[in-house]
Amino acid sequence: LVSRWQEPGKGARHLLSLMRRSRLKSVLTRMLDETEFLSDYGIRSLSRYHLEHPYEYHTEEDSFEVRYVAGEAESDMFGGNSNWRGPVWFPVNYLIIESLQKFHAYYGDSFTVEYPTGSGQLAWNPVANARGYLATAVGAGENDTMVMWSSSEVQASAFALPDFLSDADLQRLVASKALMAPSTTKCTIPQEVLKIAPQAMVQLAAYGGETNISYPPRPADPKAPWNIDWALKVRYKSQTGALLGMEMPGMAADDERGAPGAPTQTGQQPTAPFGVPGLGGAILKGLGGRLPGL
């Protein structure tokens, strides 16, 4: 299926491609895997998987085999060149770079993938008005082993944090590095966690402080009486999650909605949870941006 070319992306650009967002992510996940196509010198023309798992085809008269060879090729088929130095390698890598630049011109920074695959690196788009971030991972391994990890740098259980935090708590937790700073846009899950629980559930939370609203508003004259009818305190939190290796909702736009922030076929903006605009695609963009004071 052709990508949703009628929906504008970054800078009102349009995309005409056989690679939808979900397919592009699947291809890049394999391409950037060091156990398959990613090497120190670029993208291999043959997956390293075939080093131990050669592809074999047998007929009544003969047998054929395709095997990855790290050094010089053992077959005249490659003209004495290895799999990544062969005549296919250079133009393929050039075309990959050129194509990725075109995709970036459409998606911008709203589309990111793990590099290299399996490295445990998480990346996200900054959330307007966020005051701190927390990433967690929970998964099960063999022999009833349970692993729990958080991005907190202090020996306090990040899983015990309340769902919503005050401005004072946010300032204190960011200063102690229990929460990541609002300027943070990436972190790394340790390899030990990935080995024990390769399909752990990862969650990312963005905390947005609080807003206090009262009616009627405070009079401009400090000497005037202020009789409050009601008061409201709003604290903000945005959260998304997914299994390791999957794209988190909110880290990128949904494939069916086309480019981030693009209108639907009816010309309307896609709806988001609680009617609040989405963050780089779906988590809250501008926590509390619809209320006064933020």
Q: How far is the C-alpha of 124 from the C-alpha of 111, rounded, in Å? A: 9
Domain count, the chain: 2
Statement to judge: residues 168 and 207 lie in one domain: yes
The CA–CA distances, whole Å, from 75 to 36, 48, 52, 69, 277 equal 21, 17, 17, 10, 57
Among the ranges given (150-164, 166-180, 205-219), the one the predictor scored with the smallest mean pLDDT: 150-164
Confidence of residue 150 (pLDDT cuts 50, 70, 90): very high
Establish if 144 belongs to a structural domain.
Answer: yes
- Other CB atoms within a 10 A radius of the CB of residue 162 amount to 9
Count CA atoms closer than 13 A to 133's CA, side-chain side: 23
Q: What is the largest CA-CA distance in the chain?
A: 102
Last residue of a domain, one of 76, 110, 144: 110
Per-residue pLDDT tens over the stretch 58-81: 998 888 888 887 766 666 655 555
Statement to judge: residues 84 and 148 lie in one domain: no
**pLDDT value of residue 227:** 92
Establish if 65 belongs to a structural domain.
Answer: yes
What number of helices (H) and strands (E) belong to the chain? Answer: 4, 12
15, 27 contact by CB (below 8 A):
no
Last residue of a domain, one of 80, 110, 140: 110
Statement to judge: residues 85 and 141 lie in one domain: no
Q: Which domain holds residue 77?
A: 10-110
Per-residue pLDDT tens over the stretch 187-234: 989 888 888 888 889 999 999 989 999 999 989 999 999 999 999 999
The better pLDDT of the pair 6, 256 is held by 6
For 140, residues 6+ apart whose C-beta sits below 8 A from its C-beta are 146, 147, 197
Statement to judge: residues 132 and 269 lie in one domain: yes
